Structure 1
Amino acid sequence: MQHFPIFLDLAGRRVVLSGGGDAALAKLRLLMKTQAGLTVFAPAPAPEIAAWAEAGRLLLHRREMAPGDALCAALVYAADEDAEKDARTAAIGRADGALVNIVDNLADSQFITPAIVDRDPVTVAIGTEGAAPVLARAIKSELEARLPATLGTLARIGKAFRKAVEALPAGRRRRDFWADYYFTEGPRAMDAGGAAAAKARLPELLDKHARAEADTGHVAFVGAGPGDPELLTLKARKALDSADVVIHDRLVAPEILELARREATLIEAGKTGYGPSTAQADINALLVAHAGGGAQVVRLKGGDPGVFGRLDEEVEAVRAAGLGWHVVPGITAASASAAAIGRSLTRRGRNADVRLITGHDMTGFADHDWRTLARPGAVAAVYMGKTSARFIQGRLLMHGADRATPVSVVENASRADQRVIATTLERLPADLSAARPEGPALTFLGLEPRAACAALPEVQAEELA
């Protein structure tokens, strides 16, 4: 992020603009929505600028900008649409201590003006750092259509009532009140009787929330999916939006953690195969302690919480403490990995079932029904199978599996750095050792990447030889 977004208080402060043409007009239309004192320098201003000056909306000097004209200014806009003049204006602005923007010159500007959705006092700023102005305009248009015109009125009414709401305990009780007002009761009152009705509803709503019972903790066991934030369910997004505490696995993608509320407490409680791990008893204790204290807790697990996620153990700990809970399923790694190689997990004439197995358990390498898995056409998805590849190969060969059985290893399924290693049962340990996958990987026994699947890099066995 090169440009850090902030909201600058311009009330009573000077903003200076040099220019009198179309670029100047566009900036001034936006700046006149603020409470800044606007000063314009233009030898030949457009008629609209002259009219605004006569109406007292800005101060107009019919000359070029000179050194000292930007003293005490917060911002300076160079909008003469002439490279030489704009450079001169920028130099004066910087010398006078102001931040400078040169219209349509991102490289030499100290700040940029974003596209704005105005629902005063609610303001949405959209910036692309100059990379895609058309995209910014498209996003602005979509938000304009989605945000009701009454949103600003509700926000202004709510702002005047904030002091009274401090009677509620800080934290969730206040957030629940405002959520109820802005998304349910406020719009309903506006539709029924306008601003007066929305204002009258606030004291009644405050009384309702003041009489509500004390906060009750709750745990949501949420599947984070394989890593792509766009594969999160809407229900998972909703849980993250309301969480006070997020206790997450080590492999949950940072992009997904970014979706949690800024005020939420993030706690990593990850497990590493044969490496540093948080004990399950400690995770259970964290869940009970935070939810028992009244927090809304999200236990965020990679993939689906019910697939090799120790869900039952954690649910039992929460239930034993008398706390509420629910499960939000997620897309498991097997589904995402099958999509990555362009294959279905089951297929008529090939396999009527699919096994989801783990490469190791609490006692070491996990044992399974190897005779069934070794049959022609069998398909299995092996979770946590990187370190157990040689063990799995040996067990399958021991029970008669074909050495040419196709095997696909999908690393970082659904993520930008997704990678597919296409190999065979015979070459599985050697090819894995050569490819050195460092991210989470799922191993498919009995499936090979579809030739037409061009979604991501693929490492063929012969390339690793």
Structure 2
Amino acid sequence: MDHFPIFLSTKGQRIVLSGGRDAALAKLRLLMKSEAKISVFAANAAPEIAAWADAGKLALHPRALQSGDVTGAALFYAADEDAPEDARTAAIARSEGALVNIVDNLADSAFITPAIVDRDPVTIAIGTEGAAPVLARAIKADLEERLPTTLGTLARIGKTFRRAADALPFGRARRDFWRDFYFNTGPKAIADGEAGVRPALDTLLDDHLGKTARPGHVAFVGGGPGDPELLTLKARRALDEADVVIYDRLISPEILELARREAVMIDVGKEGFGPSTAQGTINDLLVEHALKGAQVVRLKSGDATVFGRLDEEIDAVDAHGIGWHIVPGITSASAAVATIGQSLTRRGRNASVRFITGHDMKGFADHDWAALARPNEVAAIYMGKKSARFVQGRLLMHGADRATPVTVIENASRPDQRILETSLAQLPTDLAAAQMSGPALTFYGLAPRAALASHRRNTDVILTQNQQPFSYQEAL
């Protein structure tokens, strides 16, 4: 992020603009929405600018900008559409202490003006670091269609009511009140005219003042494999309402960004054969925050019910009479198998699939290797990288075909996803050569669908040729 977004107070501040043509007009239409004192310097200003000056909306000086003209200004816009003149006026403005924006010159500007959706006092700013103004305008148009024109009226009325709403306890009680107003009571009241909104607010406040505080609650939420677009709507809603988010190591930063800024974020990451937060500590954190009345999200990678030690955490909150519910998520196996164009089961091949783990709390996990070694069996092996040689040995010991296909997907669904296609015989060797450092899922009995290879240009696919891994892109 090269430009940090802020909302600058401009009431009573002086803003100076140099220029009088199209670029100046575009900026002025936006600046005049503020309560700033605007001064324009232009020898030949457009008729619209002269009309605005006549109406008292700005001060027009029919000459070029000179030294001393920007003194005391908070912002300066160089909009002469002439590079040498913009450079000259910008130098004056900088020397006189103003923040400078040069139209269509991102590199020499101290700030940029975003595209704005105006539902005064609700303002949404959209910026693309100057890289894609067409995209910013498209997002603006989309938001304009989605947000009702009455939103600004509701916000203005709500703003005058904030002091009364302070009678509610700080935190969740106030958030519940305002959520009810903006998304339920307010829109219904304003449909009958603005006059009915304030009485509706008074009634709503009385209702909320009489409510018993909502008890603490724990939502066990499946965060999916990492791609935020694979989160369910219910998971998004839980994150938006959470007071506390207790999350696993594999939860992606993009998903954590969806939580409220005020939420307490607690990392309780676990790593196989590595540093981990004790399960007892996690249980204690869930109980501690829920007993204080917090709405807690226990955010687990993939699906919370698959290798997530969910039962232990439910037992802990149950023991203290704390309410809870489960929000399913997309497990890594589902995301990973989609990337290789396969299905987990197939008529005539396998009527079942095993989800197994490569290791458990005591070390490498044991399974029914004899059954898994039969032809056409399929298994999704979680946490299988470090146990690859152990898994290979057990399967070969029970008669598995050495040529059985094996696919390892690292960082499934994420931008840095990689796919290793190998065989049971070569699994440990090829896996070591691939140097995978991210979370990986191993499919025993499945290979990537060959017909999709030409479409995987954006995924780093590692194939094996003469027992040597190489990049798929390099092979084309």
In the TM superposition, residue 461 of structure 1 has moved relative to its aligned partner by 2.3
Moved more, 314-323 or 257-266: 314-323
Q: Does 1:230 align with 2:229?
A: yes
What is the identity, as a one-letter code, of the residue corresponding to 1:90?
Answer: A
Secondary structure of 1:124's partner?
strand
**2:434 is matched by which residue type in structure 1?**
A
Instruction: Map Cα deviations across residues 208-229 of structure 1 (whole Å, 9 max, x no partner).
Output: 0111012300000000000011
What is the match of residue 469 of structure 2?
464
Question: Where does residue 71 of structure 1 map in the other structure?
Answer: 71
Paired residue for 1:143?
143
**1:388 — aligned with what?**
387
Inter-partner Cα distance in structure 1 for 2:44 and 2:393? 85
Q: Secondary structure at the match of 1:70?
A: coil
Counterpart check, 1:256 vs 2:259: no
Distance, in Å, in 1 between the alignment partners of 2:5 and 2:410 is 35
Q: Deviations over 1:404-441 (max 9, x none)?
A: 00000000000011001111000111111111211110
Report what 2:166 is aligned to: 166
State how far apart, in whole Å, the 2-side matches of 1:342 and 1:408 are. 12
Number of the residue aligned with 1:121? 121
The aligned residue for residue 50 of structure 1 is 50
Tell me the C-alpha RMSD between the 2 structures. Answer: 0.9
Per-residue Cα deviation, 1:88-115 (whole angstroms, up to 9, x for no partner):
1111111111011111111111111100
Moved more, 364-373 or 237-246: 364-373
Q: How does 1:143-292 map to 2 (within 5 A)?
A: 143-191=143-191, 193-292=192-291
Q: Which amino acid aligns with 1:221?
A: F
Q: Secondary structure at the match of 1:464?
A: strand
Shift, 1:464, TM fit: 3.0
Amino acid aligned to 1:460:
L
Residue matched to 2:366: 367
**1: distance between equivalents of 2:247 and 2:267?**
5
Task: Give SS of 1:52's match.
Answer: helix
CA distance in 1, matches of 2:82, 2:237: 49
Cα shift at 1:370: 0.8
CA displacement 1:354-389 (0-9 Å, x = unmatched): 100001112221111111111111100000111111
Q: C-alpha deviations, 1:40-60, integer Å up to 9, x for none?
A: 001111111111111111111
Q: Specify the code of the residue in structure 2 equivalent to 1:261.
A: R
In structure 2, C-alpha distance between the alignment counterparts of 1:137 and 1:119, rounded to whole Å = 16
The TM-score with structure 2 as length reference comes to 0.96
Instruction: Tell me what 2:344 maps to.
Output: 345
Shift in Å, 1:274 = 1.1
- CA shift, 1:318, in A, is 1.1
- SS of match in other structure, 2:425: coil
Instruction: Give SS of 2:401's match.
Output: coil
Partner residue, 1:94: 94
Counterpart residue type for residue 39 of structure 2: T
The equivalent of 2:131 in structure 1 is 131
Aligned partner of 1:423 in structure 2 is 422
Say which SS state the counterpart of residue 420 (structure 2) adopts.
strand
- In the TM superposition, residue 25 of structure 1 has moved relative to its aligned partner by 0.8
Deviation of the 1:85 alpha carbon:
1.0
Q: Distance in 1 between matches of 2:189 and 2:315?
A: 43
The whole-number CA distance in structure 2 between the counterparts of 1:251 and 1:381 is 18
Q: What corresponds to 1:18 in structure 2?
A: 18
Q: Match of 1:46, as an amino acid? A: A
**Partner Cα separation in structure 2 for residue 169 and residue 48 of structure 1:** 51
The one-letter amino acid paired with 1:458 is V
Q: Which residue of 1 aligns with 2:474?
A: none
State the match for 1:439 in structure 2. 438
Counterpart residue identity of residue 317, structure 1: A
Unaligned ranges ≥5, structure 2: 471-476
The residue type paired with residue 396 of structure 2 is L
Q: Deviations over 1:21-52 (max 9, x none)?
A: 11111111110000000000011111111111
Q: Following superposition, which runs of at least 4 residues in structure 1 exceed 3 angstroms of deviation?
A: none
CA offsets, 1:334-356, max 9 Å, x none? Answer: 00110111111111111111100
| AA aligned opposite 2:93 | G
Give the corresponding residue for 2:309.
Answer: 310
**What SS class does the counterpart of residue 193 from structure 2 fall into?**
helix
Structure 2 Cα separation of the partners of residues 393 and 48 of structure 1: 78
> How far apart, in 2, do the equivalents of 1:388 and 1:81 lie?
64
Q: Tell me the TM-score normalised to structure 1 length.
A: 0.99
The separation in 1 between residues aligned to 2:377 and 2:155, in whole angstroms, is: 60
Give the letter aligned to residue 117 of structure 2.
V
* Structure 1: unaligned runs, 5 residues or longer: none
Alignment-mate amino acid for residue 107 of structure 2: A
* Cα distance in structure 1, aligned partners of 2:363 and 2:99: 62
Residue 376 of structure 1 corresponds to: 375
CA–CA distance in structure 2, aligned partners of residues 66 and 52 of structure 1: 22
Partner of 2:326: 327
Q: Matches of 1:194 and 1:238 in 2, distance apart? A: 31
| Matching residue's letter, 1:116 | I
Who is 2:81 aligned against? 81
Deviation at 1:194, TM superposition (A): 1.7
Instruction: Say which SS state the counterpart of residue 124 (structure 2) adopts.
Output: strand
Which residue pairs with 2:2 in the alignment?
A: 2
Cα shift readout 1:66-86 (whole Å, capped 9, x = no counterpart): 011000001111111111111
